Chains A and B, each alone.
Chain A
Amino acid sequence: MTESTMKPPKKVLSPVNWMRQHLFSTWYNALLTVVVGYLIVTSVGPLLNWVFFDANFQGSDPSDCSGAGACWLFINQRLNFFIYGFYPDELQWRVDFMFLLLAVSFVPQFIERFPGRKWLGIFGMTGLPLIGFFLIPGGSFGLEQVESTKWGGLMLTLILAYIGIIASLPIGTLLALGRRSEMPIIRGLCVVFIEVWRAVPLITVLFMASVMLPLFLPEGMNFEKLARALIGITLWQSAYMAEVIRGGLQAIPRGQYEAADALGLGYWRKMGLIVLPQALKLVIPGIVNTFIALFKDTTLVLIIGLFDILGTVQSTVTDPAWQNVAVEGYVFVAFCFWVFCFGISQYSQKLERKLDTGHKT
């Protein structure tokens, strides 16, 4: 019954025909094309001029900015502050080292067949936070202590997001399993935890952690503002993560559970070997979505006076020595966030394709 294996002839369109078909097929499409074309022509040119051609990159003080284009000089001068906050100059190698480890652990994940990239990834999830835990604050192994009030900028944003992400995944998984557990007390506790934390805005959680909590603690028992914020972020994020993972658990057919039971696997092996690998794979888009949301939500620490990258920029754009540099500052912040969020999203898409075992199609 095989038909001819010849492919259909390629449809070749002349540029004019292509335009007619895609841009001017009806009168309203033609109108849209004209309007959008006009907007692109009138906005892209000035935008490029502002960002590149008229912009000031070089110089040493505010008078070197002409005012015609962006004053990137401002960002350039404050870059150290935007990245490290108040971290002492002579100790910044520690932060640089952590940035390097972060790059070494995760950049290879984008390169197919990079030797040992799986181990690098595992190191990024375990060894890296452990090293950071000792290296960044110091105070042990003869390292000079750097208090958390001095941390800031991009480094603080990454610390908040990284710890939030790393900690919320296992806690969220446990909560999701707990919520589907057959033991009523565990199920009840998990439901209450998830519903309470998920129903509260992050800004409230941070505010409680920063303003209310110290009043309840006995005087002299202060634990750091950053630690309070991190605990708040992690618990809040875990509740969201639990619901995403629960979605995956529910999508696994009953047969898989029964098959695991039939093999005589206990609860943890059933979940760990059969159910969770399938469930987590299914919800990768949802998990990554919450990661990206968390990454951006870390900027809310601004309201409790922690200097994340947005905070450092906001505190300096009001400097009266400079002309209005607020736009440059915020564009810089937006760019930094875009780089990291886009990276996370790209990685997740790669992971999805790689783990796709063909059940979906």
Chain B
Amino acid sequence: MKKTKSIALGMALTVGAFTATGAMAATTLENVKDKGHLQCGVTSGLPGFSQPDEEGNWTGIDVDTCRAVATAIFGDSKSVEFTPLTAKERFTALQSGEIDMLSRNTTWTLTRDASLGLNFAGVNYYDGQGFLINKGIGVDDATQLDGATICIQSGTTTELNLSDYFRAKGMEFKPIVFDTSEQTVQGFSAGRCDVLTSDRSQLAALRSKLADPSSAKILPNTISKEPLGPVVRQGDDQWFNIVKWVLSVQINAEELGVTSANVDDMLKSDNPNIQRLLGTEGDMGAKLGLQHDFGYEVIKHVGNYGEMYDRNVGPDTPLGLDRGLNALWTEGGIMYAPPVR
């Protein structure tokens, strides 16, 4: 009896606390404006996604996604502070309000979307798990990997995807688990395994770390879907919309041929789609609670999606990734954004 009472009391207190915080809290947009900067969670070092450069500035496609949102709010891509987060603490940091948005190479899954009190605001990179193999074993396709010894990095979904894939195909494999990506590469390099598995976006970078990169090749197979994108807290739809539409504006801008270089000329464009995108017509910004020309500012300071991609992970970067799935839908990819109207 006493126990039930205390449980009930505890629940009442918790509910009270939740409603109290709900009533007290201002919207995320107001908070961000008050602070004067956007607080964004990123990885503590993943090439092409978020990594500190020589000058100690954060660079990467996840970082640019944050900068775009900051630009949409403040008209200035520098009004953003980054919080490096480990995989384990990323959701807590978002839930507790330590950060305003999470842009940390996070795969959109049902469990995360439905049970963590979070919303995924789109996809800024379609990734998938692939294989790097030693050319010496003479394999051209992942279906020939029965009995292979595979190097994996521990604590990631990579491990689960791998066993799912092999079980579905009725094949056997021997995993060798490493703690960090350097160790995984060392293990592969030293011949402890024939195959290394990781997200495809990282395979090229890992391959370049080998003593002899030409001795290894990446298999064409992709064994998992990893749509990566920015995440926000559930319960603030305005903020959810802002993050979602800033990314959509960037993708639409690429589709319409608006780049950071020609955006000033595009202000004079007669195309109503471009006019709405850049805010010369309509009040798209006001609907989101932003300035009418937020689209212009984002493209001017951060660029469209294609520019963001090419700058960080594209063919001319050390990662050298082709657009592939991340090409626009008009160019054979699946990058598609709803229209700005």
Residues of A within 8 A of B (CB): 77-78, 80-81, 84-86, 89, 147, 149-150, 207, 210-212, 214-215, 217-220, 222, 225, 303-307, 311-312, 314-321, 323-324, 326
List 9 tightest A-B contacts by C-beta distance, closest first: A315-B45, A214-B96, A320-B318, A320-B205, A326-B182, A219-B21, A81-B56, A321-B318, A305-B84
Whether B242 sits at the interface, judged by CB under 8 Å, is no
A301 to chain B, nearest CB (A): 11
Q: How far is the CB of B238 from chain A (nearest CB, A)?
A: 17
Query: Cβ of B25 < 8 Å from any Cβ of A?
Result: yes
User: Which B residues lie within 8 Å of A207 (CB)?
Assistant: 88
Which among B46-54, B141-149, B156-164 touches the partner chain?
B46-54
Chain B 61-91 interface 0/1 with A at a Cβ cutoff of 8 Å (1 = within): 0000000000000000000011111101100
Report whether A215 and B81 are in contact in the complex, using a CB–CB cutoff of 8 Å: no
Q: Indicate whether B185 reaches chain A with its CB closer than 8 angstroms.
A: yes
Which residues does chain B contribute within 8 Å of A304, judged by CB atoms?
86, 89
Question: Is B92 at the interface (CB under 8 A from chain A)?
Answer: yes
Using Cβ atoms and an 8 Å threshold, which residues of chain B touch A312?
A: 52
Residues A315 and B84 in contact, CB atoms below 8 Å apart: yes
The interface residues of chain A lying within 8 Å CB-to-CB of B319 are: 320
Which residue of chain B has its CB nearest to the CB of A87? B56
A220 near B89 (CB under 8 angstroms)?
no
Q: Does B256 contact A (CB under 8 A)?
A: no
Smallest Cβ-Cβ distance to A223: which chain B residue: B98
* Chain B residues with CB under 8 A of A80: 55-56
| Residues 25-60 (chain B) with a chain A CB within 8 angstroms | 25, 44-48, 51-52, 54-56
What total of chain B residues lie within 8 Å of the partner, measured CB to CB? 43
The majority secondary structure among interface residues of chain A is helix
29 A–B contacts from the bound complex (CB under 8 Å): A77-B54, A80-B55, A81-B52, A84-B56, A86-B56, A147-B81, A207-B88, A211-B88, A214-B96, A214-B97, A215-B92, A215-B95, A219-B96, A222-B98, A303-B86, A305-B44, A305-B83, A305-B84, A306-B84, A314-B44, A314-B45, A315-B52, A315-B84, A318-B181, A320-B48, A320-B205, A321-B318, A324-B185, A326-B186
How many angstroms from the CA of A150 to the CA of B57 in the assembled complex? 10
Asked whether, in the complex, the Cβ of B98 is within 8 Å of the Cβ of A214, the reply is yes
Cα of A137 to Cα of B204 in the assembled complex, Å: 40
Smallest Cβ-Cβ distance to B313: which chain A residue: A320
Closest A residue by C-beta to B37: A147
Minimum distance in angstroms from A217 CB to a CB of chain B = 7
- The distance from the CB of A328 to the nearest CB of chain B, in whole angstroms, is 12
Of A89, A147, A219, most B-chain CB atoms within 10 Å? A219
Binary contact track B211-251/A, C-beta < 8 Å → 1, others 0: 10000000000000000000000000000000000000000
Q: How far, in angstroms, from A86 to B80 measured CA to CA in the complex? A: 13
Pick the residue among B25, B55, B204, B208 that contacts A220 (CB under 8 A): B25
Q: Separation in Å of the A292 CB from the closest CB of chain B?
A: 25
Provide the bound-state CA to CA distance between A18 and B273, in Å.
Answer: 92
What chain A residues lie within 8 Å of B97 (beta carbons)?
A: 214, 219-220, 222
By a CB distance below 8 angstroms, the chain B residues around A218 are 17, 20-21
Contact B17 A317 (CB under 8 A): no
The one of A77, A78, A149, A314 that contacts B83, using a Cβ cutoff of 8 Å: A149
The CA of A352 and the CA of B95, in the complex, are separated in Å by 51
Q: Give which listed residue, A86, A147, A210, A323, contacts B209 with CB less than 8 A.
A: A323
List chain A residues, Cβ under 8 A from B181. 318
Distance (Å) between the CB of A306 and the closest chain B CB? 8
Alpha-carbon separation in the docked complex, A119 to B82 (Å): 41
B93 at the interface (CB under 8 A from A): yes
Instruction: Determine whether the beta carbon of A225 is less than 8 Å from that of B98.
Output: yes
Query: A324, B52: Cβ atoms under 8 Å?
Result: no
Choice from A215, A306, A316 contacting B96 with Cβ under 8 Å? A215
**Complex contacts, A150 vs chain B, CB 8 Å:** 81
Inter-chain pairs besides A219-B24, A315-B51, A315-B84, 15 sampled, C-beta below 8 Å: A81-B52, A81-B54, A86-B56, A147-B81, A218-B21, A219-B96, A220-B21, A222-B97, A225-B98, A303-B88, A305-B44, A305-B89, A307-B84, A319-B51, A320-B209
- 8 Å CB contact of A317 from B88, B96, B182: B182
Inside 8 A of A149's CB, which chain B residues have their CB? 81-83
| Given A147-B81, A149-B83, A219-B96: A316 and B52 interface contact (C-beta under 8 Å) | yes
Query: Which B residue sits closest to A81, measured CB to CB?
Result: B56
Contact B25 A320 (CB under 8 A): no
Chain B residues with Cβ below 8 Å from A311 are 44, 84
B215 to chain A, nearest CB (A): 14
> Complex Cα distance A321/B316, Å?
11
Compute how far the CA of A40 lies from the CA of B219 in the bound complex, rounded to whole angstroms: 43
A60 to B171, CA, bound (A): 48
> How far, in whole Å, are A318 and B24 apart by their CA atoms in the complex?
43
